[in-house]
Chains A and B, each alone.
Chain A
């Protein structure tokens, strides 16, 4: 096919099925989401996005490893992500700037879901979009709990 492979023969679907955000979706629904995603390939050491840049979408790691770091002095590495992990998810919700830089640690393959595409999914397939939103809310709630626990530990140690 000129404009890309048909969904039935798309190997990305199995990879996406393992992503927490999409775990409630059936294969047919996942194929719908997959049809909205853009695939990108980055070389090791290539910057995916910069800290302070306006965020536009969610990035899902399909293969390879990605480093998320902040421009502190020295450069503060926050986390290393592998296949099945996702980052930049807050950009699905608003136009806030990226809070850290994402850089490929090795050659990576990434699927990107843009905010505009996600909004169109909300209009056309609201059931699918609401399931993704629910999972996103759970992930963000878990991170908030983790942050509060870290702060408490920090205060106790102090």
Chain B
């Protein structure tokens, strides 16, 4: 992350354990954690606008009010655009999900047949023992004629009815976002000063310096991430439009947002659009493979051009740590763990590294003990004297 913050294995063990505990804790209040997280992202994205308004002579309160009103209008506009689609999803949800599941099975069978056609030896290859697919279906025994389709159909019948209604439950929570963002923007600096009051004098200057660096890094990270998402969505949208897929820019935006989850998000986004392409253009068609090619091309463009230009390498973590932590997050807290593990890890990592660094600084610890001793001496100054 940076040169000054290098942690040892014990600090890292603490960081991982704390992250897992927080993920389990957050799972119980997900309705609050998600809006707070999104409001923090909005805070970092909108701060420059507030600063611009303040630079033009407006007070902080007025600047924040104007920016929040603009954000609310923007969200209402998005809501009005998406409302018919969400309504149709709720109305046709179970049926559509079933259709897409059947398409997925068809795509799988199609891919199997294509592979067998070009690589005949696969036809005689024994199936791997007890391999299990992503939907919990035993793929090793599945053939186009087998009951794979029935198993998927049963699963979708069981769960698809709840998915659309579950989305509706999130609307009140998401309405919290502009409200929280307003107060983060208005009272953020005062809240920071309030927190800083709790830092002992000996740690004050160093902690605050690291705090500002982290704050600055987070700001640049979220602003870069937004720029990266916009670039990704634009490139994918143009590609999907050229391939003739319906709603290309909406699908591209969804896939670009899914890519916020490192590695797995990109794969899931790609699979989603491949599925839609296969559903919209049934039959033997190269389109799904062209979509995969498009995703690979955009991914390469992302890694070599867009990422260095936007997010940069300041927040980069080792790829192995990233993937392991995503899997660990999923294991301890399910889907919420998958979604929250990276931001939670990022914050816990920084706090852990700061605490680790301060704890290793012998001079600062000595100054802290000296100050504590002065306070103790002051507190018991006249206890042994007669008044």
Contacts and interface: CB of A to CB of B under 8 A. Distances in A.
Given A43-B371, A125-B54, A56 B208 contact: yes
A13 to B, nearest CB: 16
A40 B201 CA distance: 7
Interface string A11-48: 00000000000000000000000011011101111111
B155 to A, nearest CB: 50
Nearest to A123: B51
B378 interface: yes
B216 A116 contact: yes
Interface residues of A, number: 29
Nearest to A50: B363
B209 A4 contact: no
Interface of A: 2-4, 35-36, 38-40, 42-50, 53-54, 56-57, 112, 114, 116, 120, 123-126
Interface in B164-215: 187, 189-191, 193-194, 196-197, 201-202, 204-206, 208-209, 212
Contacts, number: 64
- Main secondary structure, interface of B, reads helix
Contact of B205 (A3, A46, A49, A123): A49
Contact of A45 (B54, B190, B191, B374): B374
Contact of A4 (B54, B194, B363, B374): B194
Contacts of A42: 201, 371
A113 B118 CA distance: 70
Given A56-B208, A125-B55, A47 B370 contact: yes
B194 A2 contact: yes
A3 B193 contact: yes
Contacts of B193: 3-4, 38
B367 interface: yes
Interface in B42-67: 51, 54-55
B212 A114 contact: yes
Contacts of B370: 46-47
Nearest to B216: A116
16 contacts: A2-B194, A3-B187, A36-B189, A39-B197, A40-B201, A42-B201, A47-B367, A47-B370, A49-B205, A50-B363, A56-B206, A56-B209, A112-B204, A114-B208, A125-B54, A126-B55
B374 A43 contact: yes
B349 to A, nearest CB: 21
Contacts of A124: 51, 54-55
Give me the 7 closest cross-chain CB pairs, A-B, nearest first.
Answer: A3-B190, A116-B212, A3-B194, A124-B54, A43-B374, A56-B209, A124-B51
Given A47-B202, A112-B204, 20 more contacts: A3-B187, A3-B190, A3-B194, A35-B189, A35-B190, A38-B193, A38-B208, A39-B197, A42-B201, A46-B374, A48-B201, A49-B205, A56-B205, A57-B205, A114-B208, A114-B209, A114-B212, A116-B216, A120-B51, A125-B55
B354 to A, nearest CB: 14
